[in-house]
Amino acid sequence: QAQFVESGGGLVQPGGSLRLSCVSSGFILNDYSSAWFRQAPGREREEVACVSAADSSTIYADSVKGRFTVSRDSAKNTVFLEMNSLKPEDTAVYYCAANLERRRCTVLPGQTYGFWGQGTQVTVSS
């Protein structure tokens, strides 16, 4: 079954850092742009970052811009999310997904995502 497998979540104090990893399995990472999403209890799923397969260009949600960095290593079939200056409101389950329609990230709505992973929990609390 083609999917991402996320890891790297955990408990961290406000102001701390975490690095999430997302390994692709059963599909070619270079065929799709890759995005990180998060979902907190009682809230809608939010796309926080995207990295293009075409040129590794990136897009970030305003809520994480300047604090999070998304990158990819095609040789390792892995997408990373470096999270710094973490806040309690960053607490959520973080997921990877591939944009099945585009190799380049876009802010256009209505995109189709697939190969969802099982998610990794990030908790920011003192």
Cα atoms in the Cβ-side hemisphere of radius 13 Å centred on 101: 8
pLDDT of amino acid 52 = 96
Instruction: Please state, as a whole number, how many other Cβ atoms lie within 10 Å of the Cβ of residue 55.
Output: 10
Residue 109 has what pLDDT?
83
Residue 124's CB is within 10 A of a number of other CB atoms, namely: 20
Residue appearing with tokens 């189709």: 112
- For residue 54, the model assigns a pLDDT of 85
> Tens digit of pLDDT for each residue in 67-124?
999 999 999 999 999 999 999 999 999 999 999 999 999 888 888 999 999 999 999 9
Report strand pairing: 46-51 vs 33-39.
antiparallel
Angle among Cα 104, 71, 67 to the nearest 5 degrees reads 110
In terms of phi and psi (left: phi > 0; alpha: psi -120 to 50; beta: otherwise), the region of 56 is left
**pLDDT at residue 108, rounded to an integer:** 83
Q: What is the pLDDT of residue 107?
A: 85
- 41-62 per-position pLDDT tens digit: 999 999 999 999 989 999 999 9
- Please compute, for residue 118, the number of CA atoms within 13 A of its CA located in the half-sphere on the CB side: 6
In the predicted structure, residue 126 carries a pLDDT above the cut 90: yes
Closest to 19 in 3D by CA, of 115, 126, 125, 120? 120
- Residue 15's pLDDT band (boundaries 50, 70, 90)? very high
